[in-house]
């Protein structure tokens, strides 16, 4: 796929933006006198309906950025705004509810409940939203069938391969039709054909739920090339922001 002109994005007030990250810093303290900055002034804006790949070497801050956007960790300084809400203004309980209702997270290590079946794992987000259990289970069946696991409803994670567990995790993240999907190496345990199937599923879900944004941390150039943009990070900073679809500029 031919690459388009590289463009560095700046924060602007755009009502179509799902996500705005402004001057984001994140540091950890290692001992009393040693501060390690993982993120060093990240600025980016992601519009509703975009699929964005975040790439960079191991340890550059990709997963940290994803965790901060998902409200799983607290940033040191800066701002993260999702659909007009500043994450820094939320209490712990409020951020948990906001994440439940707006964000689907696909973890690199799956984070499935080992004592629950594939069907139970996938239906759980809807149950937490107080959807009637029978409706939640029916929706979970549909999602598992979408990823080719229609015959594994009642299997525990321990009986599934790594790739199958990843598909369960993806189904769980998509089931609530969230505004944002955060995916940390979502195809890392899948073969090429299955990876392409998942990317096509992401696109179908975007079409059904107009405005859904998907942010994918990946080391795979093939996966990144199927996205609308590639944001490259190194040493906690954005190096460039590359569009494949010039209409998004």
How many residues are present in the chain?
Answer: 249
Domains belonging to the chain, first-starting first, are 17-29+38-244 (3.40.50.300)
β strands within 30-133, DSSP E: 35-47, 51-55, 77-82, 85-86, 103-106
Question: Please, what is the average pLDDT of the chain?
Answer: 87
- Indicate if the pLDDT at residue 12 is higher than 50: no
pLDDT digits (tens, 9 = 90+) for 139-167: 999 999 989 999 999 999 999 998 899 89
β strands within the chain, DSSP E: 17-29, 35-47, 51-55, 77-82, 85-86, 103-106, 180-184, 213-217, 229-234, 237-243
pLDDT digits (tens, 9 = 90+) for 48-99: 999 999 999 998 999 999 999 999 999 999 999 998 899 989 999 999 999 9
What does the alpha-carbon distance between residue 58 and residue 217 come to, in Å, rounded to a whole number?
A: 11
- pLDDT score at 249: 47
Mean pLDDT calculated for residue range 170-181: 93
- pLDDT score at 17: 65
User: Would you say 220 and 199 are in contact if contact means Cβ atoms under 8 Å apart?
Assistant: no
List the one residue out of 113, 114, 159, 167 whose CA is nearest residue 140: 167
- pLDDT score at 2: 39
pLDDT digits (tens, 9 = 90+) for 22-45: 999 999 887 777 888 899 999 999
């Amino acid at each position: 796929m031919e690459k388009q002109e590289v463009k560095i994005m700046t924060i602007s007030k755009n009502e179509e933006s799902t996500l705005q990250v402004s001057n984001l810093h994140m540091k950890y303290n290692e001992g009393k006198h040693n501060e390690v900055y993982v993120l060093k002034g990240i600025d980016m804006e992601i519009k509703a309906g975009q699929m964005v790949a975040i790439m960079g070497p191991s340890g550059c801050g990709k997963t940290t950025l994803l965790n901060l956007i998902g409200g799983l960790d607290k940033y040191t300084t800066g701002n993260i705004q999702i659909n007009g809400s500043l994450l820094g203004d939320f209490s712990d309980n409020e951020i948990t509810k906001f994440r439940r209702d707006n964000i689907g997270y696909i973890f690199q290590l799956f984070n499935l409940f080992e004592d629950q079946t594939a069907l139970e794992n996938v239906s759980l987000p809807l149950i937490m939203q107080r959807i009637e259990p029978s409706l939640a289970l029916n929706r979970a069946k549909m999602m598992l069938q979408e990823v080719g696991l229609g015959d594994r409803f009642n299997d525990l994670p321990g009986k599934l391969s790594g790739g199958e567990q990843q598909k369960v995790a993806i189904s769980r993240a998509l089931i609530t039709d969230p505004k944002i999907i955060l995916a940390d190496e979502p195809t890392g345990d899948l073969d090429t054909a299955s990876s392409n199937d998942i990317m096509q599923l992401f696109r179908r879900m975007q079409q059904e739920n107009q405005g859904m944004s998907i942010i994918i941390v990946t080391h795979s150039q093939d996966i990144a090339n199927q996205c609308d943009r590639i944001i490259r990070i190194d040493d906690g900073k954005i190096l460039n922001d590359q569009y494949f679809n010039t209409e998004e500029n």
